[in-house]
Amino acid sequence: MKVFRSFLILIFFCAAVTVPAQNNTLRVPDSSVIRTAIAENWFDQPLSALREHRTELRSNAIGQIFQIRMEETRDMFSIIVAPETKVSVDLYTENGVERKSVDEYPADAAGSWILMRDSSNGKALRIRYYFLADSDVYIQFSPSGNKTAVADYVIDGCFAVRGAPVGVPFEYFYTASFAQVMSLTAKLLPWNYADIHPEQYHSNLVVMGEIQKNLSRIKSTKDACYDELGKPAYVSTGKERTVSAEDAKNNILTLNHSGFVKWVIDGLIVPLAGSATFIGPLHRPTISVSPLGTAGIKSQTENLFHSLDWTRNLAAAKLSIQARKNYLYEQSGVDVNIEPFSAELGERGIASVAGYVKNSGYEVKYMKPLLYVLAVTEPTYFYLAAVRRTVVPSDGSPEFKVFDSSAVIFPYFDKDGQFGCTVFENGTELTLAQFCKKYPNSFIHLTRVLSSDRFNPL
């Protein structure tokens, strides 16, 4: 059986497009030569035999070192071929702390290859390739009923592609190089999501840096913003408001969440237009509801769509200024409504992804993979977020949903190609994880704003 499997691998290895193993465009360390050498002793052996195997170190054709090892979990065991990675650590000695570089072999480092098998019967389950600095992104291949493999492209637990037939036996991936995998799946998998250029995020980093410099000046104040002339005004009415003499003396900005996102957008608009955005047009409704429906009746006493209208109109205003043409929200195309995922891997297995819901946005749990895709495909944009929460009144009246918070989100990739995302809300800097934790079970509606090096906030 092993000889026949090796013969199959050889046939499809030769039949596939010939690509040098080390010549992959992502410069991923490649272990195909090593895997070809160890296939018989590692990939087909029963679990009992693998438990006796010692960890091995081998080098590929250009001298990159890989570690071969086996790891077990309750229901599965994995054969891991992982590249050497240099990690800096602090070594505490009697003479103090010494910084040293040590060798590690992470299973999820770029270049790692993993064969996963069922502990109960030894059957192969999937083969996974890691290829980016962000280990939440990977591709994997699984055997299917028609004897050919199927492919998945996964981003933070969400499937950008799931179960795409690749036309070769599963065993082909025992020895296939990453360059061959890319060539074979060029039209099947969204490799554009791996096309990362850190220099494209310069404008976003400039704006982020200026916001960070000003955070200490911002005081959270109810119903507070600044008008088109930079004078203190109320968000709700646009009328003039007063600030304390102490705040004025210390150049303190008094803002609520709506005033804060306006302050950010005004910082981009003023260098182009000479003045900031008017408050009145930002309240223009962008959604209509039946006056007899639940939302229509509740809207008579509550502003259910404030932050949705506010962020949409702000984004449309910024687009109008940069295009030198007046756009109402409906003409602007500023809403983010892409649906890049077909399914997600959760605690209960694979389930469908809801995707974009009109006038609601996305479930907060999809923010990280969604913003990853947006960072890759729209590197010069950042996003205004309107948060839709469910409110349960304390008086026992029916719960209702309301857009009552807003924030500014900057996704980017650093110089090492690692995904990052910074959120600013009402003068506070948050990680994306902190932001999502703050609004569990909520919906986040995003509008896109083109970034710029010319950022001059009030």
At 400 the pLDDT is 84
What the block records as the tokens of 13 is 């290895």
At 346 the pLDDT is 74
Q: Are 354 and 367 in contact (CB under 8 A)?
A: no
Residue 9 has pLDDT above 80, yes or no: no
pLDDT tens by residue, 364-397: 999 999 999 999 999 999 999 999 998 887 777 7
Higher-pLDDT residue of 458 and 67 is: 67
pLDDT tens by residue, 135-147: 999 999 999 987 7
pLDDT tens by residue, 179-200: 999 999 999 999 999 999 999 9
At 11 the pLDDT is 39
Phi-psi map region of 2: left, alpha, beta (phi>0 left; psi -120 to 50 alpha)? alpha
Higher-pLDDT residue of 26 and 199 is: 199
Residue 19 has pLDDT above 60, yes or no: no
At 23 the pLDDT is 52
Mean pLDDT of the region 228-248: 95
Q: Rounded CA gap, 337 and 319, in Å?
A: 17
Residue with tokens 């590690």: 104
At 353 the pLDDT is 80
At 337 the pLDDT is 96
Looking at residue 249, its amino acid is: K
pLDDT tens by residue, 155-168: 999 999 999 999 99
pLDDT tens by residue, 390-413: 888 777 777 888 999 999 999 999
> Got the DSSP string for 11-37?
HHHHHSPP--TT--TT-----HHHHHH
Q: Are 331 and 279 in contact (CB under 8 A)?
A: no
pLDDT tens by residue, 68-117: 999 999 899 999 999 999 877 777 777 777 777 788 999 999 999 999 99
Higher-pLDDT residue of 4 and 276 is: 276
At 151 the pLDDT is 97
Residue 426 has pLDDT above 70, yes or no: yes
Coil, strand or helix at 402: strand
- Residue 293 confidence class, pLDDT cut points 50, 70, 90: low
At 266 the pLDDT is 97
At 295 the pLDDT is 59
Give the strand pairing for 381-391 and 400-413: antiparallel
Residue with tokens 């490649």: 30
At 278 the pLDDT is 97
User: Cα Rg for the chain, rounded, in angstroms?
Assistant: 27
Tell me how far CA of residue 327 lies from CA of 74, 121, 263, 273, 330, in angstroms: 58, 62, 20, 15, 8
Q: Are 446 and 384 in contact (CB under 8 A)?
A: yes
pLDDT tens by residue, 208-222: 999 999 999 999 999
At 10 the pLDDT is 43
Residue 54 carries which DSSP code? Answer: P
At 318 the pLDDT is 97
Residue 4 has pLDDT above 80, yes or no: no
List beta partners, residue 49.
none
Residue 193 carries which DSSP code? Answer: G
Please choose, from the candidates 174, 163, 276, the residue with its C-alpha nearest in 3D space to the C-alpha of residue 228: 276
Q: Rounded CA gap, 318 and 327, in Å?
A: 9
Supply the mean pLDDT for the chain: 90
For the chain, what percent of residues have pLDDT higher than 70?
92
Residue 289 has pLDDT above 80, yes or no: no
Q: Are 286 and 329 in contact (CB under 8 A)?
A: yes
Please choose, from the candidates 405, 368, 369, the residue with its C-alpha nearest in 3D space to the C-alpha of residue 387: 405
Residue with tokens 């465009």: 25
Residue 2 has pLDDT above 50, yes or no: no
Mean pLDDT of the region 335-356: 85
